[in-house]
Amino acid sequence: MKTVVYCNPFVPAEWIEAHGLRAEWIVPEHAAKHAEPAAVRGMCPYAQAVLDAVADSGSPAGGHALAVLTTACDQMRHGAGMLADAGREDIFVLNVPSTWQSPGSRDYYAAELTRLGRWLIARGATAPSAERLARAMRDNDAARDRFRKGTIPTDAPSWCNPVAVELARRIATTDGGGIAVGLIGSPLLPHDLAIARAVVEAGGRIVFDGTCGGPRTLPEPFEPSAMAANPFDELVRAYFDAIPAVFRRPAAQLDAWVARAMEQYRPAALLCLRRVWCDLWHAALPRLRETAGVPVLDLDLDDEQEGGQQRVTSRIEALFESIRDRAATHALPPDG
């Protein structure tokens, strides 16, 4: 079975599977290794790492996988254009509108999925039936429910970000002690799990994962009656209408998600994991601070620099120390 790789939540795994293909969330290696070639090309190292992973997956050694990139990130759009200029015909660029409140934007996204389907069929996929699409939607809905609860089995679905899956397991198995913090921000890479270790070692615990590829960017559960009536329309609704991504305008969906997470988990602080070159998350920081109502630590992951992990660890330790000091001050009896 041919594989289609991607790394954006607006690429529906069900649509790929309904075409008789395997959907896989691709995770690049350490972005720091790609910093120098990225700088030469005018790209961020994370985008360069993704593009290199995509290029490798399309090689004979990688099984000649197809790849889907999106326009949700300008750097990815730029990189996809570079690969197209180099003659790569195994890469599809899915246009995802940043505006989401108009019927026209939703119709455009639906048309893009239809275009993706034609592209897949031209490369050997089979035309999807409504029943096959609905079956994939039902199966994946059940798996996503387990993901949200942190109970994914060892053989997690290939469309999950495997790093986010591992973090979900750690969150589910961490005891209830220590300073509670939430995570939000850029997609996790394997070495980013060191941040979770640093939180625990500093006396804290992660209570929710709001990074891209984690539970925040899952589509909404499918409505059974709507899925039975028209599975494709319900697929579009659950993805396009519901995923609170940082690139979307207006930002009301992301604000609402953060507010709900803060109300549900009551963290003492929020860690924003931001690749230092990501303008989208940098621009979102003021609204995050306003919505969260707790300290927000901007972890600019400039990990191509020597000692970057120690810098992140030190900042987490300093944040926790300030939280403890503030709690101790509030616990003091009034003078008099």
- Is it the case that residue 8 has pLDDT exceeding 70? yes
Cβ count within 10 A of residue 111 = 12
Q: How far apart are CA 198 and CA 217, in angstroms?
A: 24
pLDDT of amino acid 79: 85
State the average pLDDT over residues 264-268: 97
pLDDT of amino acid 54: 86
Asked if the domains at 3-133 and 161-331 fall in one CATH topology, the answer is yes
Q: What is the pLDDT confidence band of residue 81, given thresholds at 50, 70 and 90?
A: confident
pLDDT of amino acid 91: 93
pLDDT of amino acid 231: 99
**Least trusted range by pLDDT, from 72-76, 173-177, 241-245, 297-301:** 173-177
Three-state DSSP string of the chain: CCEEEECCCCCCHHHHHHCCCEEEECCCCCHHHHHHHHHHHCCCHHHHHHHHHHHHHCCCCCCCCEEEEECCCHHHHHHHHHHHHCCCCCEEEECCCCECCCHHHHHHHHHHHHHHHHHHHHCCCCCCCHHHHHHHHHHHHHHHHHHHHCCCCCCCCCCCCHHHHHHHHHHHHCCCCCEEEEEEECCCCHHHHHHHHHHHHCCEEEEEEEECCCHHHCCCCCCHHHHHHCHHHHHHHHHHCCCCCCCCECCHHHHHHHHHHHHHHCCCEEEEEECCCCHHHHHHHHHHHHHHCCCEEEEECCCCCCCHHHHHHHHHHHHHHHHHHHHHHHHCCCCC
85 vs 250: which has the higher pLDDT: 250
- Is it the case that residue 241 has pLDDT exceeding 70? yes
Q: What is the pLDDT confidence band of residue 38, given thresholds at 50, 70 and 90?
A: low
Percent of the chain with pLDDT over 90: 69
132-176 pLDDT, tens digit per residue, is 999 999 999 999 988 887 777 677 899 999 999 999 989 988 888
Q: How far apart are CA 313 and CA 199, in angstroms?
A: 8
State the average pLDDT over residues 212-237: 97
pLDDT of amino acid 217: 97
pLDDT of amino acid 136: 98
Every domain of the chain and the residues it spans: 3-133, 161-331
CATH code for residues 3-133: 3.40.50.11890
**Least trusted range by pLDDT, from 59-68, 117-126, 289-298:** 59-68
CATH code for residues 161-331: 3.40.50.11900
